[in-house]
Amino acid sequence: MTINLTYDDKIAVLDLGDDENRFSPEFLDAINARIDEVEASDAHGLVTTAGGKFYTNGLDLDWLGAHSDQLQSYVGRVQNLLARMLTLPIPTAAAVVGHAFGAGGMLALAHDFRVMRADRGFFCFPEVDIRIPFTPGMAALIQAKLSPHAAVASMTTGRRFGGADAAGIGIVDATAGEGAVTAAAVELLSPLGGKDRGTLGAIKTTMFGPAVAALTAV
């Protein structure tokens, strides 16, 4: 598992990998370390992307099944990552190049903006079908980012949204063709460079205060 950090001018581009990019403890260590690097740099924005058919498939259920005694601490780590992305003091965009399922979709929602591939890949919260209720923090994040209509449509049905459907209901901000999703996300952030980090971070922390409190209460 490798999470690569590169730069497109002043925009940091974080490639989550080319497999399912599930949130294993090693994945969480690696992504947080890379975000540390971004925050220590003079980056004007952060784009997360991936190299395979998944953006990320979310929770590592295989690891969790073998370490059920660590459920609470594991969920806490995942939710801390979501809260961190939600309030990162630079503009952020998720380049959803493939499937974004469950907590993977939540990670995309925790960014300021989302661009999704138009012709392939699904955004889906399968929790209702796999009998895993949303935690209060995860529900608060989704409801902070989506309209009530989109939240009900995505949280209670298990529906798989393609790019056009996701854009139409407001889950993503734009779509792009194969090979163009990451560039479109970078282009979205490029005009937003140079914002004062202290101010932007404070604005996000205020905007999403209830969701952050629910995410970090574990």
Q: Which neighbouring-strand residues pair with 45?
A: 11
Please state, in angstroms and rounded to a whole number, the distance separating the CA atoms of residues 119 and 64: 32
pLDDT bin (cut points 50, 70, 90) of residue 194 is confident
Contact 163, 98 (CB under 8 A): no
Mean pLDDT score across all residues of the chain: 97
Give mean pLDDT, residues 101-127: 98
HEC letters along 44-90: CEEEEECCCCEEECCECHHHHHHCHHHHHHHHHHHHHHHHHHHCCCC
Give mean pLDDT, residues 89-94: 98
pLDDT at 9 over 80: yes
User: The domain that contains 75 carries what CATH number?
Assistant: 3.90.226.10
Identify the pLDDT of residue 1.
Answer: 62
State pLDDT tens for residues 22-77. Answer: 999 999 999 999 999 999 999 999 999 999 999 999 999 999 999 999 999 999 99
Provide the number of structural domains found in the chain: 1
Identify the pLDDT of residue 2.
Answer: 84
Identify the pLDDT of residue 193.
Answer: 87
Identify the pLDDT of residue 31.
Answer: 98
Domain that holds residue 85: 4-216
State pLDDT tens for residues 123-169. Answer: 999 999 999 999 999 999 999 999 999 999 999 999 999 999 999 99
